[in-house]
Amino acid sequence: MLHTTRLAAVCAAAFSVACGSALAQVPNGYPATYQKLIDAAKKEGKVVVYSTTDTKAATPVVKDFEALYPDVKVEYNDMNSTEIYNRYISEQAAGGASGDVVWSSSMDSALKLAADYALAYKSEETPKLPAWSMWKDKAYGTTFEPAVFIYNTRLIKKEEVPTTHAAFAKLVSSQAERFKNKVTTYDIEKSAVGFMFAVQDNLDDPNYFDFVRDVGHAGLVVQSSTGTMMERVSSGENLIGYNILGSYAETRAKKDPSIGVAYPTDYVLVLSRVAFISKKAKHKNAAKLWMDYLLSKRGQNVLANKADLASVRDDIDGDNDVDGMTKKLGKALKPIPVNESLLDYLQQDKRLAFIKKWRTAAGK
């Protein structure tokens, strides 16, 4: 009996190895030489990812990658954008262990890191990606996530729900008592994503600070995370919010009937989570494998249909991708480009001046 058990274990192990070898093949359309990269990644054994994407959302992506490349494990570190930025810079300066890949929703701070620390790597998937989502073969936008309005469906009637930024401001400012301390958005000083959205709003909307002023009259409540804003709107502590990540809002709304989601029709900012490989990556080959997977049709299908993060590609199953969003929202879509323009307001003097102007307008 013991012999049989050992034999079964050996057979199972052999089957696992065989399956692993069969799965870890060169993807269709890739050059045969890519096998060398796969083999080198296997020897490294893992890839260390620093990410702002919630572990729950990222789990289907990690599991599918490890199923495809069973000899390469993903060490996934879920942090907020400020923590990633500070930790990564500190580790790079110290020369110790750090993330092989940074994957952040804070596009501007991620690009700043990429400008200083990214390894140049031209993914085989670049022909399938929008031109605006790539920067110098170093940084890649990986998702297509509109910023939306959310509201409490029990306390705001369907016909009241604003569909433009002007309508949002009018609703709130015309009923100041009703909306007093009931409107929420990001704290642009504490949230890197919130700051980036505010800067992009200002670039796309000439009346942006009038909007902030009108909304601020009701008493704006600011938070550092999307999750907190959704909790407060769901409970009724807040009634409505703007510049909420649509990917998270749609996922929450599927399970929480108290949350409603509205897409502005005047303009919709679109965030794309930026990924780059570190020049000092300890597991460079595994990092390249992860990057290619993340940008591939297979990886993007998992992102769109299992992680609920809309795909930056237009050839994904279903409509949770660039093509589907374009059909839904058309010219209102304003993708935030992955380029040097993101760095402009990260200059300390401009950043502080913008925050001061925003706080004055918001009455904070």
pLDDT at 7 over 50: no
State the average pLDDT over residues 271-279. Answer: 98
Contact assessment for residue 41 and residue 48, using Cβ atoms and an 8 Å cutoff? no
pLDDT at 80 over 80: yes
State the Cα–Cα distance between residues 45 and 84, nearest whole angstrom. 23
pLDDT at 16 over 70: no
Q: How many residues does the chain have?
A: 364
Q: What is the pLDDT of residue 219?
A: 84
Architecture of domain 145-270+342-362: 3-Layer(aba) Sandwich (3.40)
Q: Residue 135, exposed/middle/buried by CB under 10 A (0-12, 13-18, 19+)?
A: buried
Rounded to the nearest 10°, the torsion over CA 285, 288, 290, 294 is -170
Domain boundaries, the chain: 24-143+273-320, 145-270+342-362
Q: What is the pLDDT of residue 182?
A: 97
Contact assessment for residue 272 and residue 145, using Cβ atoms and an 8 Å cutoff? yes
pLDDT at 235 over 70: yes
Q: Tokens in use for 22?
A: 């069969």
The model's pTM:
0.89
pLDDT in tens, 316-326: 999 999 999 99
pLDDT in tens, 282-298: 999 999 999 999 999 99
Amino acid identity for residue 26 in this structure = V
Binning pLDDT at 50, 70 and 90, where does residue 3 land? very low
Q: What is the pLDDT of residue 75?
A: 98
The CATH classification of domain 24-143+273-320, taken from the options 3.40.190.10, 3.40.50.10610, 1.20.120.1760, 3.20.20.140: 3.40.190.10
State the average pLDDT over residues 311-335. Answer: 94
pLDDT at 10 over 50: no
The percentage of the chain sitting over the pLDDT mark of 70, rounded to a whole number, equals 94
For the chain, the maximum distance between any two Cα atoms, rounded to a whole number of angstroms, is 80
Q: What is the pLDDT of residue 23?
A: 53
End-to-end alpha carbon distance in the chain: 74
State the average pLDDT over residues 13-27. Answer: 54
Q: What is the pLDDT of residue 192?
A: 87
The overall average pLDDT reported for the chain is 92
pLDDT at 266 over 90: yes
State the average pLDDT over residues 207-218. Answer: 94
Q: Dihedrals φ, ψ of 103, to 5°?
A: -135, 100
Contact assessment for residue 107 and residue 78, using Cβ atoms and an 8 Å cutoff? no
Binning pLDDT at 50, 70 and 90, where does residue 8 land? very low
Asked if 24-143+273-320 and 145-270+342-362 have one fold, the answer is yes
